[in-house]
Chains A and B, each alone.
Chain A
Amino acid sequence: MNATRVSYTLESTLASVNKAEQSALELAAKSGFDEDECGRISMAVREATVNAVLHGNHYDPAKRVTVSFEVTPSALTVAVRDEGSGLDPASVPDPLAPENLLKQSGRGIFLIRAFMDEIHFRSLSPGTEITMVKFVRGSDRDGNKEATQ
């Protein structure tokens, strides 16, 4: 299967967050996602990169964030990697729980889950990698096109 891969190694800054978001928007559009889906994908990538820059690397100028995109006919896959001390996704509180509803933060990973089809976390040494997949409509994870009626 043909795949296009693009990878950026970025500084731990807000400018990098905007760069990742913009790249996601452009690649999602090229992949054929509609405007609403492009917006959701780019927001998911933005949230993942914010987590990497802010909570992973703590804006440390010595640490980098890597954002990698893979475009295939069936899916757009984005991996965001930081060099922080690690993240346990199970420890992230549910932002929809009544006691958390009015908290100022804690919605990033929830939005990524809401906007992407698959999300995986991987512990690195050091750091965390989050991989997000959005399937092109009508495709499954194996790249098969679903039968249309």
Chain B
Amino acid sequence: MTMKTSSRKVDGVTIVDLSGRITLGEGSVVLRDTVKDLSSKGDKKILLNLGDVTYIDSSGIGELVSAYTSVRNAGGELKLLNLTKKVHDLLQITKLYTVFDISDDEASAIASFNR
């Protein structure tokens, strides 16, 4: 199953709902292109909703890191929402859990951008 994305905007925050697998050659490219596209449009507050992401491999983790740094380097913020247990565990093992701003609640995640 390849990854699908859809975007919506709430209170100035672009929420990207992702579903499927973020893996080498599949979801990684989709994620990269999606974030690149949003950045080129000037979106600086990006919230990736990973609630329906079933699987991430090391390439997918790398793509999340790359998205995070590219948005930050452009003066924006990229945060994560609704991690599954598998993804949570992966980010913990790789010590990235402390790097990303992660939330389980969409409303408070949106509010955190606008503080």
Contacts and interface: CB of A to CB of B under 8 A. Distances in A.
A50 B23 CA distance: 10
Contact of B58 (A39, A96, A105): A105
Interface residues of B, number: 21
Nearest to A114: B93
Interface residues of A, number: 20
B24 A54 contact: yes
Interface in A26-84: 39, 43, 46-47, 50, 54
A43 B94 CA distance: 14
A96 B94 contact: yes
B61 A107 contact: yes
Interface of B: 23-26, 57-59, 61-63, 65-66, 68-69, 86, 90, 93-96, 99
- The 8 A-B residue pairs whose C-beta atoms are closest, nearest first, are A104-B62, A107-B58, A14-B25, A108-B58, A104-B66, A105-B62, A96-B95, A114-B93
Interface of A: 14, 17, 39, 43, 46-47, 50, 54, 95-96, 101-105, 107-108, 110-111, 114
